[in-house]
Amino acid sequence: MTDIDRPTPSDRRTRQRPSKSGKMALGPLPELVGYNLRKAQVAVFQSFQNAVSPHDMTPGQFGVLIMIKENEGLSQSDLGSAVGIDRSTMVAVIDRLESRGLVIRAPSPNDRRSYALRLSPEGEKLLDELIPRIQAHDKAMVKDLSAEEQAQLIDFLRRISRAG
Protein backbone atom coordinates (compact mmCIF):
# COMPACT_ATOMS: atom_id res chain seq x y z
CA MET A 1 0.00 0.00 0.00
CA THR A 2 1.46 3.36 -0.97
CA ASP A 3 1.08 6.52 1.09
CA ILE A 4 -1.57 7.71 -1.35
CA ASP A 5 -3.64 4.55 -0.73
CA ARG A 6 -3.20 4.62 3.04
CA PRO A 7 -6.19 6.23 4.82
CA THR A 8 -5.45 9.33 6.84
CA PRO A 9 -6.68 9.71 10.44
CA SER A 10 -9.42 12.07 9.23
CA ASP A 11 -10.51 9.49 6.60
CA ARG A 12 -10.84 6.86 9.34
CA ARG A 13 -12.85 9.20 11.56
CA THR A 14 -15.19 10.06 8.71
CA ARG A 15 -15.89 6.42 7.88
CA GLN A 16 -16.60 5.54 11.51
CA ARG A 17 -19.18 8.29 12.07
CA PRO A 18 -22.84 7.67 11.44
CA SER A 19 -24.37 9.68 8.64
CA LYS A 20 -26.29 12.84 9.46
CA SER A 21 -29.50 10.81 9.42
CA GLY A 22 -28.10 8.82 12.36
CA LYS A 23 -27.93 5.57 10.42
CA MET A 24 -24.67 3.69 10.23
CA ALA A 25 -23.47 2.29 6.96
CA LEU A 26 -23.51 -1.49 7.40
CA GLY A 27 -21.94 -2.63 4.16
CA PRO A 28 -22.56 -6.33 3.56
CA LEU A 29 -23.63 -7.04 7.18
CA PRO A 30 -27.43 -7.08 6.62
CA GLU A 31 -27.00 -9.86 4.05
CA LEU A 32 -24.89 -12.09 6.35
CA VAL A 33 -26.57 -14.93 8.25
CA GLY A 34 -24.24 -14.53 11.23
CA TYR A 35 -24.97 -10.81 11.60
CA ASN A 36 -28.72 -11.39 11.55
CA LEU A 37 -28.47 -14.36 13.92
CA ARG A 38 -26.48 -12.25 16.36
CA LYS A 39 -28.99 -9.38 16.22
CA ALA A 40 -31.82 -11.86 16.77
CA GLN A 41 -29.91 -13.49 19.64
CA VAL A 42 -29.44 -10.14 21.37
CA ALA A 43 -33.17 -9.41 21.06
CA VAL A 44 -34.09 -12.87 22.38
CA PHE A 45 -31.64 -12.64 25.29
CA GLN A 46 -32.89 -9.17 26.29
CA SER A 47 -36.48 -10.41 26.23
CA PHE A 48 -35.43 -13.51 28.18
CA GLN A 49 -33.85 -11.33 30.88
CA ASN A 50 -37.07 -9.34 31.20
CA ALA A 51 -39.09 -12.57 31.42
CA VAL A 52 -37.01 -14.10 34.22
CA SER A 53 -36.34 -10.91 36.15
CA PRO A 54 -35.57 -10.83 39.13
CA HIS A 55 -34.34 -14.44 39.23
CA ASP A 56 -30.77 -13.83 38.00
CA MET A 57 -30.98 -16.60 35.40
CA THR A 58 -29.21 -16.80 32.06
CA PRO A 59 -30.53 -18.76 29.08
CA GLY A 60 -27.60 -21.17 29.51
CA GLN A 61 -28.36 -21.77 33.18
CA PHE A 62 -32.03 -22.30 32.36
CA GLY A 63 -31.04 -24.87 29.72
CA VAL A 64 -28.80 -26.68 32.21
CA LEU A 65 -31.60 -26.79 34.79
CA ILE A 66 -34.02 -28.21 32.21
CA MET A 67 -31.50 -30.86 31.16
CA ILE A 68 -30.96 -31.88 34.79
CA LYS A 69 -34.73 -31.98 35.42
CA GLU A 70 -35.32 -34.15 32.36
CA ASN A 71 -32.28 -36.41 32.95
CA GLU A 72 -31.96 -36.72 36.71
CA GLY A 73 -28.73 -38.38 37.79
CA LEU A 74 -26.71 -37.50 34.70
CA SER A 75 -23.06 -36.65 35.15
CA GLN A 76 -21.52 -33.21 34.68
CA SER A 77 -19.48 -34.48 31.74
CA ASP A 78 -22.55 -35.95 30.00
CA LEU A 79 -24.43 -32.71 30.62
CA GLY A 80 -21.53 -30.67 29.25
CA SER A 81 -21.42 -32.80 26.11
CA ALA A 82 -25.18 -32.50 25.63
CA VAL A 83 -25.23 -28.71 25.87
CA GLY A 84 -21.87 -28.10 24.21
CA ILE A 85 -20.04 -26.69 27.23
CA ASP A 86 -16.45 -27.64 28.05
CA ARG A 87 -15.64 -29.37 31.32
CA SER A 88 -14.22 -26.40 33.24
CA THR A 89 -17.11 -24.14 32.24
CA MET A 90 -19.63 -26.82 33.20
CA VAL A 91 -18.04 -27.18 36.64
CA ALA A 92 -18.36 -23.41 37.15
CA VAL A 93 -22.01 -23.42 36.01
CA ILE A 94 -22.89 -26.29 38.35
CA ASP A 95 -20.95 -24.65 41.21
CA ARG A 96 -23.02 -21.49 40.72
CA LEU A 97 -26.33 -23.34 40.56
CA GLU A 98 -25.37 -25.48 43.57
CA SER A 99 -24.36 -22.39 45.59
CA ARG A 100 -27.80 -20.92 44.83
CA GLY A 101 -29.39 -24.08 46.19
CA LEU A 102 -30.90 -25.08 42.84
CA VAL A 103 -28.85 -28.20 42.04
CA ILE A 104 -27.66 -31.09 44.16
CA ARG A 105 -24.42 -32.80 43.21
CA ALA A 106 -24.15 -36.27 44.75
CA PRO A 107 -21.63 -39.07 44.19
CA SER A 108 -22.64 -41.18 41.22
CA PRO A 109 -23.78 -44.69 42.16
CA ASN A 110 -22.17 -46.01 38.94
CA ASP A 111 -18.87 -44.10 38.87
CA ARG A 112 -17.12 -42.88 42.01
CA ARG A 113 -15.14 -40.37 39.93
CA SER A 114 -18.22 -38.40 38.86
CA TYR A 115 -21.28 -36.75 40.31
CA ALA A 116 -24.95 -37.41 39.64
CA LEU A 117 -26.92 -34.19 39.26
CA ARG A 118 -30.49 -33.49 40.30
CA LEU A 119 -32.57 -30.46 41.06
CA SER A 120 -33.15 -29.44 44.64
CA PRO A 121 -36.71 -28.70 45.76
CA GLU A 122 -35.84 -25.00 45.30
CA GLY A 123 -34.64 -25.72 41.76
CA GLU A 124 -37.88 -27.58 40.97
CA LYS A 125 -39.93 -24.69 42.37
CA LEU A 126 -37.97 -22.11 40.38
CA LEU A 127 -38.38 -24.06 37.13
CA ASP A 128 -42.12 -24.45 37.77
CA GLU A 129 -42.29 -20.65 37.96
CA LEU A 130 -39.93 -19.90 35.07
CA ILE A 131 -41.13 -22.36 32.43
CA PRO A 132 -44.47 -20.61 31.76
CA ARG A 133 -42.74 -17.20 31.73
CA ILE A 134 -40.13 -18.39 29.26
CA GLN A 135 -42.72 -20.08 27.08
CA ALA A 136 -44.66 -16.79 26.97
CA HIS A 137 -41.46 -14.88 26.15
CA ASP A 138 -40.67 -17.34 23.38
CA LYS A 139 -44.18 -17.06 21.94
CA ALA A 140 -43.94 -13.25 22.01
CA MET A 141 -40.63 -13.33 20.13
CA VAL A 142 -42.23 -15.09 17.15
CA LYS A 143 -45.69 -13.55 17.31
CA ASP A 144 -45.34 -12.11 13.79
CA LEU A 145 -44.63 -15.55 12.31
CA SER A 146 -47.28 -18.08 11.39
CA ALA A 147 -47.13 -21.53 12.99
CA GLU A 148 -45.65 -22.85 9.75
CA GLU A 149 -43.02 -20.10 9.68
CA GLN A 150 -42.13 -20.80 13.31
CA ALA A 151 -41.60 -24.47 12.50
CA GLN A 152 -39.51 -23.50 9.47
CA LEU A 153 -37.40 -21.12 11.55
CA ILE A 154 -36.65 -23.83 14.11
CA ASP A 155 -35.83 -26.26 11.30
CA PHE A 156 -33.51 -23.72 9.65
CA LEU A 157 -31.74 -22.97 12.93
CA ARG A 158 -31.27 -26.69 13.63
CA ARG A 159 -29.76 -27.18 10.18
CA ILE A 160 -27.40 -24.26 10.68
CA SER A 161 -26.31 -25.59 14.08
CA ARG A 162 -25.57 -29.01 12.58
CA ALA A 163 -23.48 -27.43 9.81
CA GLY A 164 -21.21 -25.70 12.35
Q: Is 130 helix (H, G, I), strand (E, B) or coil?
A: helix
pTM: 0.79
Per the domain annotation, does 11 fall within a domain? no
- Provide CB contacts within 8 A for 153, sequence distance 6+: 142, 145
Per the domain annotation, does 15 fall within a domain? no
Number of separate domains in the chain: 1
Q: Which pLDDT does position 109 carry in this prediction?
A: 81
Each residue's pLDDT, cut to its tens digit, for the chain (164 residues) gives 444 444 544 444 444 555 566 789 999 999 999 999 999 999 999 999 999 988 989 999 999 999 999 999 999 989 999 988 898 899 999 999 999 999 999 988 877 778 899 999 999 999 999 999 999 999 999 999 999 999 999 999 999 988 87
> What letter would DSSP give residue 117?
E
| pLDDT tens per residue across span 42-83 | 999 999 999 998 898 999 999 999 999 999 999 998 999 998
Per the domain annotation, does 9 fall within a domain? no
Cα 50 from Cα 44, distance rounded (Å): 10
Q: Which pLDDT does position 14 carry in this prediction?
A: 44
- Structural domain that includes position 137: 32-163
- Sign of torsion, CA 117 119 123 128? positive
Per the domain annotation, does 100 fall within a domain? yes
Q: Is 119 helix (H, G, I), strand (E, B) or coil?
A: strand
Cα 127 from Cα 62, distance rounded (Å): 8
Per the domain annotation, does 90 fall within a domain? yes
Per the domain annotation, does 4 fall within a domain? no
Q: Are 79 and 117 within 8 A, CB to CB?
A: yes
Per the domain annotation, does 6 fall within a domain? no
The CATH number of whichever domain residue 56 belongs to comes to: 1.10.10.10
Per the domain annotation, does 8 fall within a domain? no
